[in-house]
Amino acid sequence: MALAIVKETTVQPRSASKPMVCVDAVTMSFGDFVAVENVDLTVADGEFLTIVGPTGCGKSTILNAVAGLLKPASGTVSIDGAPVRGVRNDIGYLFQQDALLPWKTALENVELGPLFKGMGAAERRERATTWLAKVGLKGFEDRYPHQLSGGQRKRVQMAQALISGPKVILMDEPFSALDIHTRHLMQNELLRLWQEERRAVVMITHDLEEAIALGDRVVVLAAGPRSRVIDSFPVALERPRDVAEIKLDQRFTDLYRNIWSSLRGEVEKSYERHD
């Protein structure tokens, strides 16, 4: 099997662990419109990768290709060595929008993954209860999504995505719809859960601060169409981190300046094209 050729501008700290997600020369297009072209990405097992880029640069498209929701026009995506063909269920996906089933209670939503995998009722109920408690929603088991706040719904979604112990966690601007305080809270929560059991994470965001605060590595995408990877920055900040405090760190601000100088040009280009 052809191994992904990874163009790394810098040596990453966790290069020793095996690659979990390989995106190899992937081009995504919709008819004549080419969203992303020739993208190479590798995410090591246990690595938290964040992808930033201007609006409309096809960030979500890449994520959907990894999830198997969309098929690349060319190139291959593989997870843990196996090529992705169609939707697979060893990944956890955190959507930007409300993705909970509105006709199921918080508990029923969380136990969906185990249910679809054929786990017995008692066991999955027990696991779902544990996971709800883990995300701080003990006592909210029987609430329907419309009876929960935006942040609480996000917590349920987290539990829902993580309960089956996925190999890879994909996140598509998961916190962008939340207010700033809830967002900080959720980011810390996410880091705490991830710290417990490190998985490969690919997170898409347009918030550079979030990208640096959470990630091990930040990848910058060019303005679309025909977007591609233009830079990759390792984030050598120690963990565990507190997202609010880390922003005051000198190294954080230096990194922010570096990445922003790379990103700014693309954001400006994207505005010119969209005006």
Partner 1 sequence: MNATTERLIQLALLVAVLGGWQLGVVLGVIDVFFFPAPVDIFNQVVAWVTNAGFYVHVTTTLTETVLGYLIGTGLGVAAGVWLGLSRSAARILDPFIKCLNAVPRVVLAPIFVLWLGLGLWSKVALAVTLVFFVTFFNAMQGVREVNPVVLANARLLGASRPDLLRHVYFPAAASWILSSLRTSVGFAVVGAIIGEYLGSSAGLGHLIAQAEGNFDAVGVFAGILVLAVFVLLIDSILDVAEKRLIKWRPNVAEKPA
101: contact with partner 1 by CB under 8 A: yes
Stretch touching partner 1 by CB under 8 A, among 89-97, 148-156, 254-262, 266-274: 89-97
Stretch touching partner 1 by CB under 8 A, among 24-32, 72-80, 110-118, 189-197: 110-118
Instruction: Output the smallest distance, CB 243 to partner 1, in A.
Output: 26
69: contact with partner 1 by CB under 8 A: yes
67: contact with partner 1 by CB under 8 A: yes
H or E element, residue 202:
strand 200-205
Nearer to partner 1, 116 or 260 (CB): 116
Stretch touching partner 1 by CB under 8 A, among 27-35, 55-63, 140-148, 230-238: 140-148
Instruction: Output the smallest distance, CB 200 to partner 1, in A.
Output: 16
Q: Which residue has the tokens 């969906």?
A: 112
Nearer to partner 1, 91 or 263 (CB): 91
Query: d(Cα 13, Cα 4) in Å, to the nearest integer?
Result: 19
First to last CA, the chain: 44
Q: Which residues of 165-197 are buried (b: 16+ CB within 10 A; e: fewer)?
A: ebbbbbbbbbbeebeeebbbbbbbbbbebbeee
Asked if 132 and 156 touch (Cβ cutoff 8 Å), the reply is yes
Name residues contacting partner 1, limited to 190-249 (CB under 8 A).
none
Taking CB under 8 A as the criterion, the residue among 38, 76, 95, 189 binding partner 1 is 95
- Smallest CA-to-CA distance from 132 within 150, 101, 149, 153 is with 153
177: contact with partner 1 by CB under 8 A: no
149: contact with partner 1 by CB under 8 A: no
Nearer to partner 1, 75 or 113 (CB): 113
Instruction: Output the smallest distance, CB 10 to partner 1, in A.
Output: 32
Which residue blocks in the chain are alpha helix, DSSP H? 59-67, 106-110, 112-116, 121-134, 150-162, 180-196, 208-214, 243-246, 250-274
Tell how far CA 219 is from the center of its chain: 12
